Amino acid sequence: MDQERIEFCYHYTLGPEWQHQIVDGIGATLKDNKILTMPENIADGGSIFLEVTPGLSVLLLDMTFKVPVAITRVPTDQNYYMVYFDIGDEITTHIIGNTVHKAGYHAKLGMGFMDCSMKGVIMPPVGQRSYSLRLFIEKGHMKELAASTRDLETNNLLFDESKNTLLFYSHIDSRSKILLSQLKENDFISPSFELKLKSTALYLLGYLVERASRFEPIINKLSHQDIERVFQTSGYLMANLQAEFPGLQKMADMADMSVSKYKGLFKKILKDSPNQFFLNEKLLLAQQFLQSGNFNNVQEVAYELGYSSPNYFAKVYKNMFDTLPGDVLIKQNSSL
């Protein structure tokens, strides 16, 4: 907080040329036009960038920052969508627009899909490893892939930039999570690493298209202000999971929108209604609590999360995870 942040602006490109901004801007070194190594005084580690197929590139970042930085991805008229996967050990503070989006342990949305015309700021934690992967998908390619999963008319509407903004934030789906954690076990310098990274990027793209085909299409344009305000409220929910759901009216007021507009935008960006989103996050936190070894029984966890009835808590928990909270509880001081 007190230390002055190094501020840095850049934007990605589908090809490798964007890397020169990092070289010129903060003195990173670039090898083979794909491996960036950060200057020692700023961070340990670096990144690897590969063009996978025509229309798909991938960037894997593995860095531990030594000083506070604010990295701003400036909007660009390049022709791609970016998908972000956070697989770090710790929180990366994410800012979309001006909203601090803390990807925290208890409330971490590790995945985001956005247009390259959208601004983004990242403030990685100092002294913690940041590990993340980004896909860059050429817009026409994405549209073509999506077209194979739904009717043409809806697809054309979804990809019509004058009518619709494509953006969503969510948890990383479990299939992608498995691939990412497998990738994380591999060393950058192993001879098969680039092939594995390409393979992972293609599978992540495939899974993304399959998953997005199940989203209810909500067609509308989002202003930067709309997006910021929705993230403000989702951030509020994630920071207050131990309380009760504040109610739609209050949330809409907070976003300075009508309830119906708020509901629509929230669902578009976060793929759930505010209430459902809150409940999911709460239960994910419950799962963490149950397995943390810090509680003696299910009742304590229920109370901690603001449920007055442990039975009701058990019921909703079972609905989501198919197991009773008692079955996953690791008791305080119990030895395994």
How many chain residues touch another protein (CB under 8 A)? 23
Token readout for 287 is 């799962």
Identity of the residue, 175 or 261, whose beta carbon is nearer to another protein in the bound complex: 175
Least distance in angstroms from the C-beta of 143 to another protein: 10
- Applying CB under 8 A, among 154, 181, 190, 223 the residue interacting with another protein is 190
Identity of the residue, 80 or 278, whose beta carbon is nearer to another protein in the bound complex: 80
Q: Give CA separation, 117 vs 93, 165, 224, 316, in Å.
A: 20, 10, 10, 39
- Applying CB under 8 A, among 133, 205, 241, 252 the residue interacting with another protein is 205
With CA atoms as reference, report the closest residue to 188 among 327, 28, 31: 31
| Site residues (CB under 8 A) for another protein, limited to 126-145 | 144-145
Q: What are phi and psi of 323, to 5 degrees?
A: -135, 155
- Could you please report the per-residue DSSP string of 177-234? HHHHHHHHTS-TTSTTHHHHHHHHHHHHHHHHHHHHTTSPP------HHHHHHHHHHH
Identity of the residue, 52 or 314, whose beta carbon is nearer to another protein in the bound complex: 52
Identity of the residue, 193 or 303, whose beta carbon is nearer to another protein in the bound complex: 193
Note the Cα 86 to chain centre separation in Å.
6
Q: Tell me which residue has tokens 């907070």.
A: 254
Q: Tell me which residue has tokens 């490109």.
A: 13
- Applying CB under 8 A, among 192, 242, 319, 323 the residue interacting with another protein is 192
Identity of the residue, 53 or 323, whose beta carbon is nearer to another protein in the bound complex: 53
Token readout for 262 is 């708020």
Q: Tell me which residue has tokens 């497998």.
A: 182
Rg (CA), the chain: 21
- Under the binding rule (CB under 8 A), the answer on residue 21 touching another protein is no
Least distance in angstroms from the C-beta of 199 to another protein: 4
- Applying CB under 8 A, among 17, 210, 244, 327 the residue interacting with another protein is 210
146 to 185: interface string for another protein, x by CB under 8 A: --xx--------------------------------x---
Residues that bind another protein (CB under 8 A): 52-53, 144-145, 148-149, 182, 190-193, 195-196, 198-203, 205-206, 209-210
